[in-house]
Amino acid sequence: MRQKLSMIAAVLAFAVASLHAADVTGKWTAQVAGRDGQTREQTFTLKADGEKLTGTTSGMQGGADVEIKDGTVKGDDIAFTVVRSFQGQEVKILYKGKVSAGEIKFTSQREGGEPREFTAKRVTS
């Protein structure tokens, strides 16, 4: 009986730890390769509230910041969409990321496009 209770306690502790959302609130920057092969800096300002993720990402070529939509945080995984306007057309971009030790490994993909991978680092100052 004692061994059974110990096992149940261990399983519950693991389950609670795995449900704990990653700490993503704050500012993050990444160097992202563009279609022309040049790299540009992209900034993410994120705020987690339980499993809900809100915030903004920097605009293209110095434009206004864009609001994050449909953001979620589940354990170390985050996901959100951004809608940008290119030459008068709206383009939806899906971001998925894995959070670990001061960085987020992202994959972004616009509808109908190829996925891009990049890493964002937490801004500490």
pLDDT tens digits, one per residue of 16-29: 444 556 899 999 99
pLDDT tens digits, one per residue of 64-81: 899 999 999 999 999 999
pLDDT surpassing 90 at residue 92: yes
For residue 95, the model assigns a pLDDT of: 97
Which one-letter amino acid corresponds to residue 18?
Answer: S
Q: Which residues contact 86 (CB under 8 A, 6 or more apart)?
A: none
How is the chain split into domains, by residue range?
22-122
Write down the pTM of the prediction. Answer: 0.79
Q: Which residues contact 75 (CB under 8 A, 6 or more apart)?
A: 18, 19, 20, 21, 22
Q: Which CATH number fits domain 22-122: 3.30.70.1280, 3.40.50.620, 2.40.128.120, 3.40.718.10?
A: 2.40.128.120
Nearest CA-CA partner of 67 in 96, 47, 50, 89 = 47
pLDDT surpassing 60 at residue 10: no
